[in-house]
Every structure is written in C-alpha cells, then in structure tokens.
Amino acid sequence: MKKILISDKLADDGINFLNEQSDIQVHIQTGLSEDELCELIPEFDALLIRSGTTVTAKVLKAAKNLKVVGRAGIGVDNVDIQAATEQGVIVMNTPDANATTTAELAIAHMFSLSRNLPEANASVKAGKWERSKLMGAEVSHKTLAILGFGTIGRIVAQRGNGLNMRVIAYDPFVTPEIFAEYGAESVSLEELVKQADYLTLHCPLLEKTRHIIGAEQLAAMKKSAMLINCARGGLVDEAALYDALTNGQIAKAALDVFEHEPPKDSPLLTLDNIAFTPHLGASTREAQVAVSVEIARQVVTYLETGEAINALNITRLSADALRKVKPFMGLAHILGKMLINLIDAPIKTLDVVACGQVADVEIRPISVEVLVGMLVDQFSTPVNSVNAENIAKKQGISLVETRTDEAEGYLSVIKVKGHCDNGETVSLEGTLLGDSHPRIIKINDFEIEVVPEGVLLVTKHEDKPGVISAISSVLGESNINISRMQVGTADSQQQAMAVISISEPLDDARLQAVCDIPAVKTLKQIQL
C-alpha cells in the first residue's frame, strides 16, 4: 500500500481518482508548518502540493520514504529541487494542464491595459463619465512580444495571431521550426524588448532568468510599451519596474505574480499605471480540476510503473521507451556493482557503450543505472536514478556514453569501463538471454560467461593445473558450497580468471586463505 499526503487544497476530482486506486492510501492535511510537515512526512511515499506548501531541504531530509513530490501546477520555486535530487526524490509538475487558463489571463490583461478597463470601472463607480480621458488603443497590428515559448507562450502566440497582431518571441531552447509552426518570429532578447508593444512573460523562474527584465531591458522598451507578467514574480525586477513606470520609460504594466506574495508593502501599489491580480493564472474551475487530476494520475503512474511524466529532475521516458529500456537497466545495475568491487582506486571516468539492438533505446537510463550500481553501497543516503548523476559528479566521476551497431556475436551488449587516476582500468561486458536473464560475458580481457547473482568470488590466477582444486579445497574445508564455477582465459596471457558462486560470504580469514594459494594473484568478493 502506497501512502500519499496532500498538503494543499486540490480539486475533488483528483482526490476521488486517488481514492479509487486499490493500492493507494490518501491522507489530507493542509496548512502545515515546516516542523509539522517534517514530523508527518516520513511515512509517506508521495507528497502532492500546490503553491501553499514549501518543500525545503529540511523537509526532504526528514522524508525517509518519499519518492515523489507532485506539484499541481507549473511553478516549483516552492520546492528545493536540488535537495530533492540529492535525496533521490522525483519532482514533477503539470505544465500543460493550466496552460490555456494562464495564456488567456495574459491576453485579458493585454486588453484591459489597452482599453483602460480598471480606470474606466473606477471612474463610472465614482459617478464620472470620462470617455475622452479613457481613450484606448487597438491591439490589432501591434507587436506582441513573448518571452518564453513553451506551452503557454505558444498558446499566447496563437491568440495573438488570431487578433491580427505581429508576434515575436525569444526562447533560446526552441527550434526555428517551432517558432514558424506557431506563427512567431524568433528574435534576440534585446530585439524582443526593443520592438514590443506588449511584452508578456512565460518562462520559468531559474537563477539565470531571475530579473531577466530589469532596468536595462525596461530602458530599451518603447515609452508606449506595456509589460504583462503572469508567469513568476522574480522574473521582473520590481524596483526597476517602479522606476520605469514612474519615469515614463514604459506606459503601463499588469502583474499577476510578485516577488513577494502578497505584495503588501510594494511601492508598485501606489501607482495608477499598473494593474494587479492576486496570482489568478490557474484560477479557473477548469484548470483546478485539470491540474488536480493530472498530478494525481502522474504520481500514481510513477509509483506503479516508474514512468516519470513531467519530471523536472530526471530524464522523462515515455511508457514505450521505458518498456524497451527496462530489461537492460537490471543488467546495467549489476555491471555497475561488479565494476566498483573489481577496482581498487576511485573511478574518474566511466565509459558506457550500448552495442547492437540496445543501441536503439535510450542510453541515459542505462548509464544512470550503472552509476546506481556503483554508488548504492558507498553512501549512507539513498542512491537511485534521480540522484545518481548528481552524486557521481560530486565524486568527480565523468560519464561518457557511446552507441554502436556491433555486438560481437550477441543481439545486445552493454560494455562498461572504469578509468582511475592511477591508470588502473577495469572493463565488463554483459548481455541478456531471452530479454530477462543477465549474463556477464567478459571481464577485462577474459572471455567468461557468468550468472550474476548471489555471492561471487572473482580470482585472477596462474593458468596451470591444480589452482581451482586448491581453491575448492579451501571452500570445502570451510563448509562453503559451490553452486557454479566459470573459468576463462585471455589470449596471450598466462593467466586465467575464475568466477565462483558460493553459498555464503567468506569472512576475512577464509578470504586470506584463498589469497595465500601461491598461484592466486588477486581475489575479489562481490555480493549481488
């Protein structure tokens, strides 16, 4: 039974979906302080939030069983993603579920600013009839500038085209084909702010996008330009915006989001040429239902299948891609675990090569699972596919991935090779029999077929009679049963390798007894 904590208000449709799952137990408790959340979170597998809950490093450290944080909505600046990654916790959001709602609010603000609707409303309520004073402007044929061309930005572009506007956009991660598909002209950030009649923001809040609209950008805008932000508050330097509105550098602005919410003491509240809404971007009935149902489905899918839809700290695989790569991930884990046990110095570079048919599937999950196998027994904190790359980087391990169609007699082969600073290298090759039975087929230069399970002794010894018998005698005298034994040789070497499956691990004294056999050069014990 998986346990899910909901700590912010979600629409009933999403909660009902969770309650319909036979293997899901739901607990709802909102308004938790950080300490209260820390006390409650350890027993839960998943945490579902909106913007009210702040998931700090302290919370994540306390979350011993937590596997996933699901944000019903887009913004995740209330989640410490770095800390989540280090703790091996998936963070996912619903970037598309409220996209139309947010895009429509931006368009609504554009119309509101253009036709002076807030001022007109206040004027009529005050008993005035100021038609000439409230002269507005058409949006048709004006330039709509979109900063950030993800799902929301593209919907805004479609609406702008429908309004007969010229649409320009800036997003360094979007291809020219996408801009063309949505009828937008791709421009630089400098040109975007310079040409904008209406500048609307639709990008995530990251360190590199914080205050992306500041004094320099505002100074470059037309004096008649209007700024709209329905994305994240920190994208705009509010002090610079206050100066720009006060000094006439731009004409108007509309904000749905703020650097600090609510903006109680903001000097922007004193100005007449700016309009506000209280973070209403996702506040429609349709969006509330959509984000709640979507995040509930995503979290259940992840807990049941491992498919991480809209994950922000792990490469997302489709169900089909996951199905194709999953058989090889178990083999990759074994290869990583064996590699770290066969090498004597810290690994600085890890080579992962996908050969044959496996070269056609996603290689990154395979490489990451090799890292998990290497690191899982080396740290007190959990190591999984979420944090393995991050941990490896901190350890100074570089990952190199390669694909090739050649599999040297097999349908698919995964090769791994660890390089150490001292020049030592260890390489392993593995394959699958019948898509489910892993086999090690090569260790360094030794051709050898090994069933990788249980406790393995790996010896390198002189290739001469009597060595295997001597090893077997030590094991027999210790009442250790041998279930399998494979011996391989390498071309042009006077040495052999043995991989022996034994019934239980050897203690230090027994290991030393095997090492004392004159012909035995190296001995490693691996527990899989």
List, by residue number, the catalytic residues.
Answer: 232, 261, 279
Residue type, 115: R
Give CA 311 to chain center in angstroms: 5
Residue count of the chain:
528
Question: At 436, is the secondary structure helix, strand, or coil?
Answer: coil
Q: Which residues pair with 501 in a beta bridge?
A: 456, 484
Question: At 429, is the secondary structure helix, strand, or coil?
Answer: strand
Q: Is 180 exposed, middle or buried (0-12, 13-18, 19+ CB in 10 A)?
A: exposed
**Two tokens at 22?**
């036979």
* C-alpha dihedral, 224 to 230 to 231 to 235, nearest 10°: 40
- At 50, phi and psi to the nearest 5? -120, -135
Q: Which of 16, 5, 81, 17 is nearest to 301 (CA)?
A: 17
Residue 376 is given by DSSP the state T
* Gyration radius of the chain over CA positions: 30
Q: Which of 24, 76, 27 is nearest to 50 (CA)?
A: 76
- Residue bearing tokens 């090769």: 415
Q: Rounded distance, CA 152 to CA 203, Å?
A: 9
DSSP-based helix, strand, coil % in the chain, nearest 5: 35, 25, 40
